[in-house]
Amino acid sequence: MIPEDTLKSYIQNLEDNIRTIVEENKNELKNDVLGFLFAKSKRIRPIFIYFCTHILGGRVDDDIQNTALALELIHSATLVHDDVLDESEMRREDVSFYSKFGSKKSIILGDYLLSLALLALSKLNNPKILKIFSQNVLKTLNGEINQFEGRFNIPNEEQCLEKTAAKTASLFVCGAECVCELLGADAAHRNALKNFAYDFGTYFQLKNDIKNFLSGEDDIKNGVYTLPLIYFKQENPECDIINIDRNQIVNYAKKTDDKARKIIKNALLNIESIKGAHQMLAGLIKLLEEK
C-alpha cells in the first residue's frame, strides 16, 4: 500500500503540473478551466495509475506523472462534454459548467482540456503510449456513441455491460496499459492489469448508475437506460419506464449491485498473484465510497 503522505505528495505534484500546463497555455478560459479542474475531484484515475505503478514495483517518475496528467485532463474533457449531452444540471454536487455557461462554452472548454491533454501526452515522446491513449479514447467515444445512437432502445444485459465498459473502463485500461508499457512489464502482468482495469472501471460505472438511479439523477428523460431499468423491464415488459416509481423498484438496484459485486470479485481474481493487489483494490473501493 502507498503510505498516505506519499500518495498526497503524488497528488500535490499532479496538481502543480495541472496549474503549470494551464499557466503555460493560458487563454481567456484559464480561470474557467482551473475552476473545473479544481472542483471537488477524487483524482481516481491518477491514483489508479499510482497504485498500478507501486504494485509493479515501479517509481512514480515524470513519465508516470505526465501519463496521469494526460488521463485526468482527457477524463475532465469527457465530463464537460458529457454534461452537455446529458443536459445535466449538476456535477460533483455542484452546478455543472453546462448549467452555468451553456453548451457553446462547454464545447470549447472541453476542447481546451483535450488540447492540454495532447500536450501533456507529447511530453512523453513515446509512440507506444500515444497509441494506447488513442485506442482507448476511441473506445470511450465509441461507448458514448453507442449510448447516444441507442437512446430509447432497451439493450440486454450483455449489451449494456459492453457499453458501460467501453465508455468508462477504457480510460482505466488506458492507465494500466501505459504503466505496464513504461515499466516494461511482462505479458502476464500486462494482461492481468488490463483485465483488472476493465472490471474495476465497469464496477465504477455500475455503482455510479445505481447512485444516479436511486437519487433520480439518471438519464431516463434522454432515453438512456442503465442496468437497474433493464432488469426492471426484463421482468415487467408492459410497464412504462418514464413513469416509473423508483421506490418500488429498489430491488432492481440491488440486483445491479449484486452484479457489480460479482464483477469486482472477478477483478481481484485477475491480480491476486500480484503482491499488494488486494490492498490496492481495497484502497480504490474506499475512495469510491467516500463522499
In angstroms, give the least distance from the CB of 123 to ligand FPP: 19
Count the neighbouring beta carbons within 10 Å of the beta carbon of residue 41. 17
The DSSP bridge partners found for residue 95 are: 90
C-alpha cell at 121: 501526452
Give yes or no for residue 72 binding ligand FPP (CB under 6 A). Answer: no
Nearest of 249, 232, 226 to residue 86 by alpha carbon: 226
Instruction: Pick between residue 78 and residue 256 the one whose CB is nearest to ligand FPP.
Output: 78
Residue 75 near residue 48 (C-beta atoms within 8 A): no
Residue type, 111: D
Instruction: Pick between residue 114 and residue 160 the one whose CB is nearest to ligand FPP.
Output: 114
Alpha-carbon dihedral sign for residues 161, 162, 165, 167: negative
Q: Which of 43, 45, 54, 167 binds ligand FPP (CB under 6 A)?
A: 167
212 binds, among ligand FPP, Mg ion, none (CB under 5 to 8 A by kind): ligand FPP
Instruction: Pick between residue 72 and residue 144 the one whose CB is nearest to ligand FPP.
Output: 144
In angstroms, give the least distance from the CB of 77 to ligand FPP: 4
C-alpha cell at 50: 499510482
In angstroms, give the least distance from the CB of 206 to Mg ion: 14
Residue 39 near residue 92 (C-beta atoms within 8 A): yes
Give yes or no for residue 63 binding Mg ion (CB under 5 A). Answer: no
In angstroms, give the least distance from the CB of 229 to Mg ion: 15
Instruction: Pick between residue 10 and residue 98 the one whose CB is nearest to ligand FPP.
Output: 98
- Give the Cα separation of 202 and 158 in Å (integer): 12
66 binds, among Mg ion, ligand FPP, none (CB under 5 to 8 A by kind): none
Give yes or no for residue 155 binding ligand FPP (CB under 6 A). Answer: no
Instruction: Pick between residue 167 and residue 189 the one whose CB is nearest to ligand FPP.
Output: 167
- Give the Cα separation of 78 and 126 in Å (integer): 23
Q: Which residues bind Mg ion (CB under 5 A)?
A: 82, 86
